[in-house]
């Protein structure tokens, strides 16, 4: 099932090169369809103040939709308050 544009998605794996962790929430900003391959999505991840942390493109298999069992959480980024 494709993710809708501007919907929230949750990473299911760490992306250390982007300083993102499994469980981080992003917003779908683009869907990438390549015939014969898995769909990909560009997602934008924000901090709690609304600033963009990262924009990454990942395959659909690294994302899931939020459920009622999910709860927001906060984690401090390396480097402290900024």
Of 69, 77, 56, the residue nearest 11 (C-alpha): 56
3-state secondary structure of 72: coil
Model pTM score:
0.88
**Number of other CB atoms surrounding residue 61 within 10 Å:** 11
Does residue 63 have a pLDDT over 60?
Answer: yes
pLDDT digit string, tens, across residues 1-17:
699 999 999 999 999 99
From residue 36, alpha-carbon distances to 5, 11, 33, 39, 58 in Å are: 21, 23, 9, 9, 16
**Dist CA 6 CA 26 (whole Å):** 9
């Amino acid at each position: 099932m494709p993710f809708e544009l501007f919907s929230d998605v949750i990473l299911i794996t760490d992306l250390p090169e982007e300083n993102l962790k499994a469980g981080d929430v992003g917003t779908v900003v683009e869907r990438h369809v390549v015939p014969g391959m898995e769909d990909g999505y560009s997602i934008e991840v924000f901090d709690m103040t609304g600033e963009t942390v990262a924009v990454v493109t990942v395959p659909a298999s690294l994302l899931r939709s939020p459920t009622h069992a999910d709860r927001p959480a906060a984690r401090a980024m390396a480097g402290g308050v900024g």
